Structure 1
């Protein structure tokens, strides 16, 4: 950990201290207790599922994977970390790192992981806590107004958080490069995933989400969840959606590559999608509405489909008839931070729910952009038979060159995703900047 990062983290914690004090006063609480959470056992088994530390706890304590710990925050007092450190010979007990941020906390080591007794006053408790636990504590359980206010606090990132996101991107990009090389060397999906993990220096359970590694048609399955152990006879394409986590903060990057057997149409569309993605990123700045950017993506996609002959009608017709939504059913992007799909994306600045428009139900970010937001930008183009089949009927039946569309089926799809921080005057593309650096 560098001195610069340590200084930025101190400033981040000071910012949180002030913001929590103001929000607790506004909502009428003397303090709040944050629970890190715990892993759950599989049904009728003694094995546990993978675990993610509660985001609001992680906002303060940069220890992803820490279970059974509690953080008590009271205005005017040092935050008190009840750190679960059991005496255990079956597992290695967690330890606090020798880092400067620890000095900002009062630390109480405890073996049992039980919630600490609260002092007199009006407190809230947040996290995966039962009603019975909250009743014993005498605290309000996950009050909606306070939770939404704390969600909103995570929307705009501090300099420390941006630095963590940048480092997560750097590590994820190392994995992407290795996965690409494994693919071009004739590897299977499993080979690409193993190469990703090795280059990114991360174990699979520590990833912020399961990597999507789709060769050929599997690249058209949006959340493809398997890794074939055998390479296909012909390698048309590879799509890798892979991330990383640094001090709790997530990278979420997607890249698509042409294989040795890729068609000319696929190669041309891949280049066109890369240009479109860069254009969309170039338009991002404070005040830009992300719903309007979703529309901009679909209009750009319509132009691309027409320019490359997949659609024989006008770009306006491709957009208005919903053809582009069949080729790309997902949203342009989402907020990014301590969660891959971070909190606060579908609400306005006052914390009120703001659902996506009916035409784009999968859009996870419906609010105007603000300085400090970290977002993803991920336009896609896929050949998904169940979505394209209805276009063979009605007004759209003669609007597509079906032979060319079907020929792309073996290539699956294209998605290009960068992680971008909105600045006061424009944006900082964490992903492309690192790709371009030596």
Structure 2
């Protein structure tokens, strides 16, 4: 995101601080096995405030006497290390990239941080990440207090949650962030269409998963935003099924929950379609209920509304549908009150979306009420119905059916925009998409 003003983002953080120093660490490499590591994935809050995509880095922001300062601690350039592990940003480029006041070698953090801590009332840190930095800052502050207790400049006496500040800022996306997510959606659209066209009885889930991953890696995206769910038949009733290795069978449905990412900004889309390209009558009945509930929820997406309101609208439609299918007995009101619908719809209707696929934004405001939608908020709407095989309480004609339909919704000044509206989801559209030639989506 070349046009991102990281300094402006940090100024917003400063505006929400009270006479303090903020310390935020980057992510670390995570061991896969022995001496090998998983691909590096930056801490989203760190990325949001710095734009830096390297490990072993620490952001320090100080606010004193009306003056705001930003410091970055990062690895120095090292020709030998870079020969093995790739180019480093280095101090000068890091300072320029994020428009910091000064850059230090990460090895000097313990030497420099004591004097930066002095003279601040509050220490802002993330409570649940980089415990090593959290503990170090606390220890140094305690040592400084014992040494400086008679001084006019003392270390912070109160610790506050930096994560809550940054994540509130991330709740709404700016024009650049929205454009990035729209660009990521291009590959997601191609992948879902290609999967519909490629699928047929006898193929394996892993073949379809590989096709999706190929498109995510080849297109204008940067791989998958999360572990894709590629679930044929009864596997769709495992909400986070990621084995993706079973044969696809004639007459089954196929649930694919897959989204690409660009500059860490995620898309998150689910489509369900027939393996053989044609819905059976009962599959169509269930599908239309889920689709109606999703459309109803999306129609309520506008500024001032809340996620629980959308969820309730979904529950109303699904509960009536479950009664119509014979899966529930009694009235809608009675089943809603008892929560019996949760057996078939056990999850929420959606979640925030952004730098994380489950974006770290607040769901409740400062008064304990649900956050209201604002222009720039992006979230998923993903109702589903699940009827696992082998449950004697479920009518036999429904067993083995698992359906979820998920879109990504942007709140606008006048309502909403469905960022994934181009991906087929009407029954006729889906069946037509299953008849296409998947090669046309590969850009070979």
TM bracket, shorter-chain basis: 0.7 to 0.9
Is 1:410 paired with 2:404? no
1:115 to 1:69, Cα distance in 2 relative to 1, 3 A: farther
Matches within 5 A, 1:145-156: 145-156=161-172
Tell me if the contact between 2:181 and 2:266 (Cα under 8 Å) persists in the aligned partners.
yes
2:373 paired residue number: 369
Tell me if the contact between 1:169 and 1:251 (Cα under 8 Å) persists in the aligned partners.
yes
Q: Distance in 2 between matches of 1:330 and 1:21?
A: 37
In the TM superposition, what whole-angstrom CA distance separates every residue of 1:295-334 from its partner, at most 9, and x where no partner exists?
2111111222344454464444443443321110000011
In the TM superposition, what whole-angstrom CA distance separates every residue of 1:140-168 from its partner, at most 9, and x where no partner exists?
69944443222212212222222222222
Counting matched residue pairs gives 396
Is 1:73 paired with 2:68? no
Tell me if the contact between 2:314 and 2:383 (Cα under 8 Å) persists in the aligned partners.
yes
Report the more deviating stretch, 295-304 or 252-261: 252-261
Tell me if the contact between 2:350 and 2:379 (Cα under 8 Å) persists in the aligned partners.
yes
Structure 1: gaps spanning 5 or more residues: 355-365, 393-401
In the TM superposition, what whole-angstrom CA distance separates every residue of 1:265-315 from its partner, at most 9, and x where no partner exists?
112322332233122111111221322221211111122234445446444
Structure 2: gaps spanning 5 or more residues: 142-154, 426-440
In the TM superposition, what whole-angstrom CA distance separates every residue of 1:211-230 from its partner, at most 9, and x where no partner exists?
111011001110112021x5
2:364 paired residue number: 347
Tell me which of 314, 318, 322 is aligned to 1:305: 322
2:176 paired residue number: 160
Q: TM-score of the superposition, structure 1-length normalised? A: 0.78
Matches within 5 A, 1:111-260: 117-118=112-113, 119=116, 120-122=118-120, 123-126=123-126, 127-130=129-132, 131-135=134-138, 138=141, 143-184=159-200, 186-201=202-217, 207-228=224-245, 230-260=246-276
RMSD: 3.6
Tell me if the contact between 1:216 and 1:237 (Cα under 8 Å) persists in the aligned partners.
yes
In the TM superposition, what whole-angstrom CA distance separates every residue of 1:403-434 from its partner, at most 9, and x where no partner exists?
xx3233233x1111111121223112111157
Tell me which of 384, 388, 410 is aligned to 1:421: 410
Matches within 5 A, 1:17-36: 17-24=10-17, 26=18, 28-29=19-20, 31-36=21-26
SS, match of residue 375 in structure 1 = strand
Q: Distance in 2 between matches of 1:429 and 1:181?
A: 23
Please identify the structure whose Cα radius of gyration is greater: 2
> How much has 1:231 moved relative to structure 2?
1.9
Q: Distance in 1 between matches of 2:240 and 2:112?
A: 43
Moved over 6 A (4+): 98-101, 139-142, 202-205
1:186 to 1:298, Cα distance in 2 relative to 1, 3 A: same
